[in-house]
Structure 1
Amino acid sequence: MSTVAEVFAHTLKEIGVRYVFGVPSGNMIDYVEALRKEDGIDFILVGHEATAAFMAGVCGRLTGVPGVCFATFGPGATNLSTGVGGAQLDRFPLLAFTDEMPDDLLKRTVQMNINHQQLFFPITKWTTRLNENNVEEIILKGAGIATDDQPGAVHIGIPAGIGRNPVQKVKADVDYLRLEKKRWSPLVADQIAKVEKLIQKCKKPVLAVGLSAVHAQVSEQLIALAEKFQVPVVLTPMAKGLFPENHPLYAGVLFHALSNQVAKVYSQADLVIGIGYDPVEFNYEDWMPSVPLIHIDQQEANVASGQIPEVSNVIGTLEVALSEMLKLDVNRKVWDLQFLQENKQQIFKKLTPKSGSFVPLTLLDELRKVLPDEGILAVDVGAHLHLVGQQWRTPKPDKLLMTNGWSSMGFAIPAALAAKLCNPDLPVVALMGDGGFLMMAGELATAKRLKLNIVFVVIYDNSLSLISIKQSKKNFHSGYGTDLNVLSEEPTNHYFGVPVVRVTNRKEYESALAKAFAADGPLVIEAVVSSDEYDELVLQPNK
């Protein structure tokens, strides 16, 4: 007869989980041992529970199979919650397990005891608690919820002390792989017919594409629709890579660097067509001109009352909706294609570093030259993210990993670790500011222990630059509470055995990149740059 821990490990393996990330507790060691014995699935020890959740979320994002993490009571759970919230708002499928007190102690005053169900309720799609008789059923149901429709996080509490208990019922009645998805909606055609006149009437519509379109994998249909209507396309940052930057109808990324330049396009629109647009990244009303909105997604548009003249929802599966859109016989629109091309060229020109300069744009420019198209860049939150979001040439969405729904600093290192585990043969780079690096520097020990040859590029400007820019825009003191001053005069030669190369100019940086990509393990590049260029590029007006 199988134990709870053995069914736990076997069920996760059966749904395709490859890694379980966490910091084990006394109660969890039964599950760690079960994972050790189960072929094809491994437990990965990390330095902090937030790392475990971030790594699991990114594994879910890259594979489509829910990532898995676990933590102990109280502080373990609260640490884990940072990454769980990330999976929820960045739309990564995740199963988060935590210890919970047994039934007789749940409501008692006990060391480390808090109500995990209440803790995780606002940052998950579902939170529940398993027992000896429903282990497989709860895991499969949780996996289905985590991956269905809008992906996200699920929390499952495990009562302490049941790991070795026998399981009476092994085969569950639920198979998450066979859960019926919303693949087709008979109402889509009728809904498209209702908005056809609006599309026919407009002269300059713009397509605004968001995160849900990435999950639906509708790149080909999106390109075909833009070309059929001859209209420009703007993307939210996490949808970057869904529409090629070299396409004549590509107009740029919302919210990130030079958003005022991108606004020169969409401010001319007389209709916005949102395709898989998820407001978790950027609300419609924060950038849209005062024109009608057609919102195509599986959920209705989330907009502020009275701020958009007319909102028409087309609710259904994106591929079905786009197929119906492509059937429409509408007149080609009147956008000036030369203007679109010139505006895009101006954006890219402003995001090209000046010859001989050594600034954050230089780091991106040189890195893009050496990172192959199949390579993966994981980028942290900060002013540099705004540059990446607009400047970085992205062949596919899964080649650029960022957090723009949750927007937690410290994301880049765990994301890169997960990306390398999921894609061991691909080159992986983590790009971060010095502030984000400080939060997760300890995980370099994890990279060293796992022998992951990841290139870590740290932008050292000794400041929380994005906050400093916001201070300046309000005429506040721009250094107070944001100066880091963490870079000593003497170069660091290693972190936890991971070698470090410090660079202060382009030539040194090029040499360091060559060394890093040729290494058989992780390497950190400390790039000492000025943050002055951010002021003219980042946090520009969206209207």
Structure 2
Amino acid sequence: MNLSEATVRSLQAVGTKTIFGYPGDPSVGFLEACRTEGTEFILARREGTAGLMAEAWGMLTGRPGCVLSTLGPGSTNLANAVANAYLDRVPMVAISGQIDTGRVATFTHQVVDQRALFTPISKWAADLTPNAADPVLRRALRLAMAPRPGPVHLSMHADHVTAEVAGDVVPPPLTPFHHTSVTHSGTAPEAMIARAKRPMILFGISAMQEAAGDEIVALAERIGAAIVAAPMAKGTVAEDHSLFAGTLDMACQALMWDLMQSADLVICAGFDPVELIKPWSVKAPVLHIDQVPNTDQVYAAEAEVVGPIAPALAWLTDAASAAAGWPLAEIASHRDHLAAAFDDGRVSGTLNPSDVIRVARDVLPADTIASVDVGSHKLLVGQGWRPSAPRRFLMTNGLSSMGFSLPAGITAKHLHRDAPVVAFTGDGGLAMVQGELRLAASLKLGLKVLVFVDNSLNRIELKQMAKQVPSTGTIIEETAIEPLAASMGCNGIMAETESQLAEALAVDPGDTPLVIGARIDPAQYAAQF
């Protein structure tokens, strides 16, 4: 068994049977190992988008996504996607080729220090060598999955790719360890809950990754807690539940922070402060529940429960006395105000950003998997879209790298061929990755790519408007959706009105990607943000 075969088999053993990438000279032996071992290799159009596809794989499956790049410019192009997975808390194994060991110390052409490059943006960066394949692969996979999950980066030297490994390679067990007890420090959590009259549960990425939705709802119903979602965890709790109050730090954020301020206890259940856009300003005491202690200290926690989240919540539910808690009428009123505020700034007679989301929500099936890019539209989608289950809403809200949505949508449709998939993106984000439309077409992926067309980098333009300076460097040329789609082997439709958009979204794409351009009036963004 050579090093590439050992690596491919280890990844297969943990459920990773597809690798995304863009190969180079050192990758030839690795590609052959993929072929002979039965692992699918998907050739993206650049390393960065391949990495975002691998990140989406990790989001959708909970297992490490894998991406391959070559040395030098391949690895530097990959760095953004690795950093994205790092701050989004997504398991990933990134592998880059490297020059042979006999020249690495002195040769300079296309050589960068990959360990130095990836160490600050990954959980671990190491060389993968034939004489240490077993411990390196075991550690890489275990670290990628351990709380908080994230990427590891492995460099594979050209003279090691097909070298025989020493000994056996045994992947580590990646099933969660179930503890029978939890620990806390500070005030007893039961006492904090008992004295709360307006408790709130703010759940986040880790709660979604542990599928703790039922336990969140059970505790909320027992103590009368309002439930608030962090954006990347949407779908963990059904948003039509009477206690669900909205999503934090997306559109209508002033209303959400006002609600947070009116709580007298905030239970942070698997909430990761990496998703905060506004500074934490809540004065109520915080009960921190997570697999990791509150070392971020973005908020001060009066008590910490460290351990698996779902059992911890179940323990607290059993320990807590039933209480009325937050008045349901007040939560219902807040939701009404939230729905009204979602349309703030709407301009009559034109297609508004909030109209696009509402039409998509009305037309697309409830079980649609949605990905969303970065930009002004993300804040509205993050509040207005209602995923039907966990891992059916893909968003980057850690590093928040533009260009995420299309690669993520490609992975979602490739993994779930029978599921409807929509990728929300802006014209700026699409411009960064539009070459991947050709990949989607070649893979016969009938996803829908819904483009907010406003010819602007709106988030930055809004800041220029706030400073009363002209739009400089933030205006982009018109995106010709239909010819662009056709050139990539896709179908394209432009929509100027709600009815045109509804008709476009109702089209069955078959096995050909459908790119829908929604020409919006961006004036609503100024009122919203």
Q: Structure 2 vs 1, CA of residues 102 and 343 (structure 1 numbering), >3 Å: closer, same or farther?
A: same
Q: Hey, what's the Cα distance between the residues in 1 that align with 2:16 and 2:26?
A: 21
Change (3 A) 1:300 1:9: closer
User: 1:369: Cα distance to partner?
Assistant: 2.0
Structure 2 CA distance for partners of 1:404 and 1:178, relative to 1, 3 Å: closer
Determine the C-alpha separation between the residues in 2 that align with 1:44 and 1:177: 27
Change (3 A) 1:17 1:466: same
Q: Distance in 1 between matches of 2:363 and 2:93?
A: 35
Does the 8 Å CA contact 2:45/2:439 hold for their aligned counterparts? yes
1:240 aligned residue (219, 234, 239): 234
Q: Distance in 1 between matches of 2:489 and 2:463?
A: 37
Contiguous gaps of at least 5 residues in structure 1: 539-543
- The equivalent residue for 1:229 is 223
1:315 maps to a residue whose letter is V
Quote the Cα distance in structure 1 between the aligned partners of 2:179 and 2:450: 44
Q: For the structure 1 residues 354 and 225, does the alpha-carbon distance in structure 2 shift closer, same or farther, using more than 3 Å as the test? A: farther
For 1:474-493, what per-residue CA distance to the aligned partner results, in whole angstroms no more than 9, with x for missing partners?
x2325222111333699656
Question: Residue deviations 1:14-43, cap 9 Å, x none?
Answer: 33212111111111011111211222x111
Moved segments of 4+, more than 4 Å: 190-193, 302-305, 352-357, 488-493
> Which moves more between the two structures, 127-136 or 204-213?
127-136
1:394 pairs with 2:392: no
Conserved in 1, the CA contact under 8 Å of 2:481 and 2:516? no
Question: Is residue 120 of structure 2 the alignment partner of residue 122 of structure 1?
Answer: yes
Counterparts of 2:394 and 2:149, CA distance in 1: 16
- Quote the Cα distance in structure 1 between the aligned partners of 2:481 and 2:397: 34
What amino acid is the match of 2:436? E
Aligned to 1:85: 83
Q: For the structure 1 residues 304 and 27, does the alpha-carbon distance in structure 2 shift closer, same or farther, using more than 3 Å as the test?
A: closer
Q: Specify which of 178, 182, 206 is matched with residue 212 of structure 1.
A: 206
- The total of aligned residue pairs comes to 527
**Cα displacement (A) at 1:372:** 1.6
**Closer, same or farther: CA 227–114 of 1 in aligned 2, 3 Å:** same
1:300 maps to amino acid? P
Query: Which residue number in structure 1 is paired with residue 251 of structure 2?
Result: 257
Correspondent of 2:193 among 199, 203, 211: 199
Q: Secondary structure at the match of 1:335?
A: coil
Aligned to 2:103: 105
* 8 Å Cα contact 2:27-2:97 kept in structure 1: yes
Aligned to 1:480: 472
Corresponding residue for residue 448 of structure 2: 455
Partner of 2:179: 184
Partner of 2:28: 29
SS at match of 2:25: coil
Pick which of 223-232 and 371-380 moved more: 371-380
Evaluate the alpha carbon distance shift between residue 148 and residue 510 of structure 1 in structure 2; reply closer, same or farther with a 3 A threshold: same
Moved more, 29-38 or 355-364: 355-364
SS of alignment partner, residue 274 of structure 2: coil
- Aligned equivalent of 1:142: 140
Q: 1:302: how far off?
A: 4.2
* Contact map agreement 1:149 1:182 (CA 8 A) in 2: no
Question: For each residue in 1:392-434, what CA deviation from the matched residue of structure 2 results, as whole angstroms up to 9, or x when unmatched?
Answer: 1121131111100110000001101111111111111111001
Cα pair 2:251 2:382 within 8 Å, conserved: yes
Tell me the CA shift for residue 84 of structure 1: 0.8
Which residue of structure 2 lines up, in the alignment, with residue 497 of structure 1? 489
Unaligned runs of 5+ residues in structure 2 are: none
In the TM superposition, 1:18-417 aligns within 5 A as 18-39=17-38, 41-169=39-167, 171-172=168-169, 174-177=170-173, 181-184=176-179, 186-188=181-183, 194-282=188-276, 286-302=279-295, 304=297, 308=300, 311-330=302-321, 332-351=323-342, 357-417=350-410
Could you say which residue in structure 1 is the equivalent of 2:524?
533
Provide the alpha-carbon RMSD of the alignment: 2.2
Q: Secondary structure at the match of 1:238?
A: helix
Q: 1:359 to 1:491 in 2, by over 3 A?
A: farther
Shift of 1:357: 4.2
> Deviation string for 1:49-78 (max 9, x for gaps)?
011111111112211221111111111001
- CA drift of 1:537 comes to 2.2
How far the C-alpha of 1:348 sits from its partner, in A, is 1.6
Per the alignment, do residues 487 and 178 of structure 1 end up closer, same or farther by CA in structure 2, a change over 3 Å counting?
Answer: closer
Q: Deviations over 1:101-159 (max 9, x none)?
A: 33332321420111100111011111111212233442233112111222110111101
CA contact (8 A) 2:495 2:519 kept: yes
Structure 2 residue matching 1:494: 3-state secondary structure: helix
Q: Kindly provide the amino acid, as one letter, of the partner of residue 193 in structure 2.
A: I
The one-letter code of the counterpart of 2:242 is P
Aligned amino acid, residue 339 of structure 2: F
CA change 1:201–1:9 in 2 (3 A) is: closer
Q: 1:356 deviation in Å?
A: 5.6
